[in-house]
Amino acid sequence: MALPAVSRLGRYLLTVIAGGMLAGTVAAQSSDNASLEAQRAAFKQAYATASQGGDSWRPLAEGLQNYPLYPYLQAASLEHDLQQTDRATVEAYLREYPGLIPANDLRRDFLQELAQRQDWTDFVAMYQPDLGDALSCYALQAQLAGNAKLDFNRDLATLWAAPALPSACDPVLQAAYDQGLLTPARIWSRIDAAVDAGKAGTVSGMAKWLPPEDAQAAKNLALALNEPATATMAAKQWPDTARAREAATLALVRLARRQSGTADTAWQTLQGRFHFSAEQRDRVLNALALFHATDFDADALARLVNLPASAQTPASRDWRVRVALAEKNWQAVLDAIAAMPPTQQQDDEWQYFRARALSELGRSDEAQHVYAAVAEQSSYFGYLAADRQGAPYVLCSTQPAADAQAQQSVLAIPGIRRAFELFAVGMPKQARREWTLALANADAQTIRQAVILADERGWYDRAVFAFNKGDALRYYPLRFPLASQDGLVPQAQQAGIDPSWAYGILRVESAWMSDAQSGADARGLMQLVPSTAADVARRNGLAWSGGDSLYDPAINIELGTRYLAQMQDRFSGSAWLASAAYNAGAARVNQWVDARSKLPPDLFVATMPFKETREYVARVMYYSVIYDWRLHGTAAPISTRMAPIGQLYNRPDPPSTRKDLTCPAPSVAAASSAPPPAAAASTAASKASAPTSDKVH
């Protein structure tokens, strides 16, 4: 049926009405946003006051009773005043906010306080299981205070399996020993678990409860863990018992990691002193071969080739290839890869180097066939292989569709509302906890929509951690955000470095967690140690207001890009070497350069002794390509980013050299043997940690 004609006046009135409705909607939305911002500002002020204890926060929180984060205020005050707080006050809060994270924290912390007071009556009344080993042991202390006897299976079996326990458990373990529950067999089972975990303190602590003849054997194990060189010297006087043989094996293996030559000498002495088992001999021989390899000793390749099959591991097979690469012994490279099990051979790294070896040996047709298969992967080695073929890069990028109805359901989850507000008020750690709890049992669609909402709010690390496997790896725009509000591109340009490289470093270092902090106290998005950041600020005439300022993304990026520029200048403009130095330290990289500077960059990276640094450089270079594509739609080839050592690097970037990133249909051969193109892009970025100081294989 035809619609009746609308008069000019009618159309005008409809337009006025619609315009008024739209203006009203916009005005209402603007008013809502202003109200929310006011609530956030009020919460921040009230929370800062509540964190100092007392009730002074309450007047500041007027009107916040319906704000999602209101329960955090009283909890902060109670946490500060915990030593003066009574059970009734805490229980009242727990009744008002059951199951909330601040309530659970308050219960746990108040139980700790009650234990310190030795108020076992209130402790037992409030205790709940599964709150951690310390509180479990305090609960057992409460039992002991009431003259109850311990039962090993009921009370201790779970704790006993832990290789290390908090000090709260010491009185409980002593009581268990006094009651005759810690038999030598049980003690040795815990010692064995502690040795496997490298917990020398636990081993030493258990030794005192063993008979004298066994106590020394336990002390020998602790010595092997802590001081392997001393242990191998002392082992010359040990009896040839099963425990002594295990301690000697452990000492030799650990010494090989630190001083392979000294371990060799000790092995020559001790192998005639003890009747080592075949398994123990294999462990020692493997460690000696492996760590002579990481030292690139003259006989390293021969050791690995001659290693008995029973002593070989994936790491020793890897290092057989790496040593051959360092020597540019291309036939040995092929032989080493051929000696791997089929599944290990198919790793894109080894297929790439198989193609490299074939090419160097003049077998070009075979090499190109292998390169073609590797180049169908979106990865560091896939892109190196594509450069060898002059082929475009594979990148199959998709974006999950936003679903307004599903997003409303997500926003109706109280924990998600709290998570978003905690992020908005600058409390990302608490925000992540609320997020994790709220989505613990969520389906994939709910998580996708939650991540899209988080990304819209600038909470970028949610995508990095949520989309880390399967088809979700293809959500490249979410997994590799640009975050223009943090100013990385202009800061990188001012520092004279490639923004895509700076983005790659940031993405690997922190996974976009602005509050990331490593064990070495590296902080923020680009993981700067405060002392380093202070030095960078001084050199560049930038303001410096202390270590906590590194949690501000803009400050962190300003200082981080300048530090990257310093590292790049130190290595003749080489971003890939600067990346290695950013992870492992410039001094170590200089040592590696002094030893193997003639190697091409791809071989040099493959022969870095630290597994973490090899993978770090590969990820940074790969991520740099992804970010280049995100910024420009095409990318500079990965090979142009990796100039030979000693060659001054000036970033060439003419349009004719740039790469297209496409998503072709995989070949039949590649589809049958290779993972999906995005599979190799999986990141371990959740760690945001400092590099290890040990050689890693």
pLDDT digits (tens, 9 = 90+) for 389-441: 999 999 999 999 999 999 999 999 999 999 999 999 999 999 999 999 999 99
Two tokens at 144?
């002991």
Q: Is the pLDDT of residue 164 over 50?
A: yes
Q: Which residue has the higher pLDDT, 339 or 23?
A: 339
Q: Which residues pair with 659 in a beta bridge?
A: 635
Asked if residue 639 and residue 578 are part of one domain, the reply reads: yes
**Any idea which of 257-271, 550-564, 620-634, 679-693 has the lowest mean pLDDT?**
679-693
Q: Which pLDDT band holds residue 187 (cuts at 50, 70, 90)?
A: very high
| 444 vs 546: CA distance, rounded Å | 41
Q: Is the pLDDT of residue 658 over 90?
A: yes
Buried/exposed code over 125-158 (b: 16+ C-beta within 10 A; e: otherwise):
ebbeeebeebbbbbbbbbbbeeeeebeeeebbee
Q: Which helix (H) or strand (E) holds 661?
A: strand 661-662
Q: What is the pLDDT of residues 14-43, one digit of tens each?
A: 444 445 544 454 555 666 778 999 999 999
- What pLDDT does 487 receive? 93
> Using CA of residue 618, residue 623, residue 624, residue 629, what is the dihedral sign?
positive
Helices (H), 635-688: 668-673
Residues 195-210: what's their mean pLDDT?
95
Asked if residue 450 and residue 526 are part of one domain, the reply reads: no
Of 122, 133, 74, which is closest to residue 100 (Cα–Cα)?
Answer: 74
Strand (E) positions, 387-465? Answer: 393-394
Q: Which residue has the higher pLDDT, 326 or 7?
A: 326
Residues 326-339: what's their mean pLDDT?
98
Query: Is residue 684 classed exposed, middle or buried when 0-12, 13-18 and 19+ CB atoms within 10 A define those classes?
Result: middle
Q: What are phi and psi of 635, to 5 degrees?
A: -145, 145
Q: Is the pLDDT of residue 696 over 90?
A: no
Cβ atoms of residues 503 and 623 within 8 Å: yes
Query: Last residue of some domain: 421, 442, 472?
Result: 472
- What pLDDT does 33 receive? 79
Q: What angle do CA 603, 604, 610 make, to 5 degrees?
A: 115
Of 558, 554, 613, which is closest to residue 580 (Cα–Cα)?
Answer: 613
| 513 vs 498: CA distance, rounded Å | 22
Asked if residue 675 and residue 543 are part of one domain, the reply reads: yes
- What pLDDT does 657 receive? 84
Cβ atoms of residues 560 and 504 within 8 Å: no
Q: Which helix (H) or strand (E) holds 164?
A: none
User: 3-state DSSP call for residue 271?
Assistant: coil
Q: Is the pLDDT of residue 685 over 90?
A: no
Q: Which pLDDT band holds residue 486 (cuts at 50, 70, 90)?
A: confident
Of 47, 38, 98, which is closest to residue 73 (Cα–Cα)?
Answer: 47
Supply the pTM of this predicted model: 0.89
Q: What is the domain count for the chain? A: 2
Asked if residue 458 and residue 510 are part of one domain, the reply reads: no
User: 3-state DSSP call for residue 517?
Assistant: strand
pLDDT over 70, % of the chain: 90
Asked if residue 658 and residue 513 are part of one domain, the reply reads: yes
Q: What are phi and psi of 459, to 5 degrees?
A: -95, 80
Query: Last residue of some domain: 422, 452, 472?
Result: 472
Residue 568 resides in a domain: yes
Residues 47-53: what's their mean pLDDT?
98
Residue 643 resides in a domain: yes
Q: Which pLDDT band holds residue 8 (cuts at 50, 70, 90)?
A: very low
Q: Is the pLDDT of residue 667 over 80?
A: no
Cβ atoms of residues 456 and 482 within 8 Å: no
User: 3-state DSSP call for residue 554?
Assistant: helix
Buried/exposed code over 463-480 (b: 16+ C-beta within 10 A; e: otherwise):
bbbbbbeeebbbbbebbb
Q: Is the pLDDT of residue 680 over 60?
A: no
Q: Is the pLDDT of residue 6 over 70?
A: no
Residue 230 resides in a domain: no
Residue 432 resides in a domain: yes
Residues 330-340: what's their mean pLDDT?
98
| Percent helix / strand / coil, the chain, rounded to 5 | 70, 0, 30
Residues 6+ apart with CB under 8 A from 577: 571, 589, 593, 645
Residue 539 resides in a domain: yes
Q: Which pLDDT band holds residue 653 (cuts at 50, 70, 90)?
A: low
- What pLDDT does 103 receive? 98
Asked if residue 574 and residue 643 are part of one domain, the reply reads: yes
**Any idea which of 64-68, 485-489, 527-531 has the lowest mean pLDDT?**
485-489
Q: Is the pLDDT of residue 177 over 80?
A: yes
What is the CATH classification number for the domain harbouring 547? 1.10.530.10
Of 669, 126, 634, which is closest to residue 374 (Cα–Cα)?
Answer: 669
Cα 657 to chain centroid, rounded: 34
Asked if residue 491 and residue 423 are part of one domain, the reply reads: no
Q: What is the pLDDT of residues 103-135, one digit of tens each?
A: 999 999 999 999 999 999 999 999 999 999 999
Cβ atoms of residues 97 and 105 within 8 Å: no
Cβ atoms of residues 504 and 685 within 8 Å: no
Query: Last residue of some domain: 437, 472, 507?
Result: 472
Q: Which helix (H) or strand (E) holds 633?
A: none
- What pLDDT does 386 receive? 98
| 154 vs 164: CA distance, rounded Å | 19
- Looking at this protein, which amino acid is placed at residue 492? A
Residues 6+ apart with CB under 8 A from 460: 454, 481, 483, 512
Cβ atoms of residues 580 and 617 within 8 Å: yes
Kindly list the catalytic residues: 509
Residue 276 resides in a domain: no
Two tokens at 458?
């600038």
Residues 386-390: what's their mean pLDDT?
96
Residue 657 resides in a domain: yes
Give the best-scoring range by mean pLDDT among 28-32, 481-485, 491-495: 491-495
Residue 511 resides in a domain: yes
Asked if residue 598 and residue 511 are part of one domain, the reply reads: yes
pLDDT over 90, % of the chain: 88
Asked if residue 618 and residue 496 are part of one domain, the reply reads: yes
| 325 vs 360: CA distance, rounded Å | 12
Buried/exposed code over 583-617 (b: 16+ C-beta within 10 A; e: otherwise):
bbebebbeebbeebeebebbbbbbbbbbebbbbbb
Asked if residue 598 and residue 527 are part of one domain, the reply reads: yes
Domain that holds residue 467: 404-472
- What pLDDT does 676 receive? 41
Asked if residue 519 and residue 417 are part of one domain, the reply reads: no
Q: What angle do CA 217, 280, 257 make, to 5 degrees?
A: 90
Two tokens at 467?
């989309």
Asked if residue 566 and residue 465 are part of one domain, the reply reads: no
- What pLDDT does 27 receive? 55
